[in-house]
Amino acid sequence: MKKLSTVFVFILLLKITNLMAQDHKAKILVLIHSDNGGTYELAKEIASGIENSNNATAVIKQVKESQNPKLKNIPVASVEELPSYDGIAFGSPVYFGNISTGMSEFLSKTVNLWTNHALEGMPATVFMSAGSGAGKELALNAFWNTLAVHGMVLVSNGIRGTENINKTIPQGNTVLGVTSMASLKDVERPTKDERELAVLQGKNFAKTALALKGTFTSKQTAVSGIEKSEDINTILKQKNIVLPKVPLPAGNYKPYVRSGNLVFINQVALKDGKILNPGKLGVEVNEQQVKEATKATMLNVIAVLKEAVNGDLNKVKQCVQLTGIFNTKDDYTKHADLMNTASDLVVEILGEKGKHARATLGASSIPVNSSVEIQAIFEVE
């Protein structure tokens, strides 16, 4: 028994020592956007360089979900978590001598971090996957521009490791950060040397991050000043809400029109190419069936809205107004009850941003014998 408790105390001490050691390590995020996996290949080398010294831990995350089998299991980072790290290594494909659209979109959501000085003084380093390599240094520089606005400490690579690389082929070494030239097919990319340069960049970055750990903005203060916004795509997934395909227009009109920052959408209860529960309430359909049709109609509205914001529902600022029109008999009065199905759904998905002004009314008939039509106005970024 005594022996057993000694072993238990020993294991406990080992665990505590391990936890304390973890706390002393620099916690580094390797944050990437990648279309074809080239940036991810570099990211893995950067991460292994970071962890090489045993003084830092690295976690690779991406800025948005990917369907690419090589990338789909990489976790997606939230904007709000960025201040919780001791350093961030940013990686992106080169797009027209610039950072990629995916990375740019993610960074454009960091305005709250910027105004709260949440990343100020935190070390950052950058790396990129290019095609031919045209404009790669311009692109790295563009990365730096954004991070400099955040007040991050930009850790360059200098001419680290270049003395040992094979100089008979083009290599992605630059003083700002490592790159790879994926479309040069003479050798596999990233080359062995580019991978080695990425490891060196990771090692050097970890050293700086460890040295600066704890010297910049109090993370808690910074984070608490930021209004947390939940990712709408994650909410849809968590709630098992599947958006339908955008219904095609049945006449000379568009599924939506954007005027300034307002998007106008009108939909009926089309589901899988047919009207769900068609007819007049109290004659062909009952209230429960109209509620089902109302939910299908609202899902159509949100599917169209998603198209209007180029697939990113996080760009919706507010559901401004919903108007629900129901095919009812003259003496029907409970339109509000029916419409709550649509209102509840939009609030479930968009939270506070889903709260709207509302009108409901009855009609003697609705196009294509739908039991409901919804008109919606949204404000978007």
Ligand X SMILES: Cc1cc2nc3c(=O)[nH]c(=O)nc-3n(C[C@H](O)[C@H](O)[C@H](O)COP(=O)(O)O)c2cc1C
Q: Which residues make up the interface to ligand X (CB under 6 A)?
A: 34-39, 93-97, 129-136, 182
Q: Which of 106, 109, 59 is nearest to 87 (CA)?
A: 59
CB nearer to ligand X: pick between 13 and 134: 134
CB nearer to ligand X: pick between 94 and 301: 94
CA 105 to chain CA mean position, Å: 9
**Are the C-beta atoms of 89 and 124 separated by less than 8 Å?**
yes
Distance in angstroms (rounded) separating the CA atoms of residues 201 and 267: 53
Q: Which of 162, 173, 183, 375 is nearest to 268 (CA)?
A: 375
Min dist. Cβ of residue 156 to ligand X (A): 20
CB nearer to ligand X: pick between 39 and 343: 39
Tokens of 154: 């930009």
CB nearer to ligand X: pick between 133 and 354: 133
- Residue 52's alpha-carbon distances to 25, 212, 352, in angstroms, are 12, 18, 45
CB nearer to ligand X: pick between 22 and 145: 145
Min dist. Cβ of residue 179 to ligand X (A): 8
Min dist. Cβ of residue 61 to ligand X (A): 14
Min dist. Cβ of residue 128 to ligand X (A): 7
CB nearer to ligand X: pick between 71 and 309: 71
Residue by residue, DSSP assigns 51-98 as HHTSSEEEEEEESS---STTTTTSPBPPGGGGGGSSEEEEEEEEETTE
Min dist. Cβ of residue 78 to ligand X (A): 21
Min dist. Cβ of residue 174 to ligand X (A): 12
> Which amino acid makes up residue 320?
V
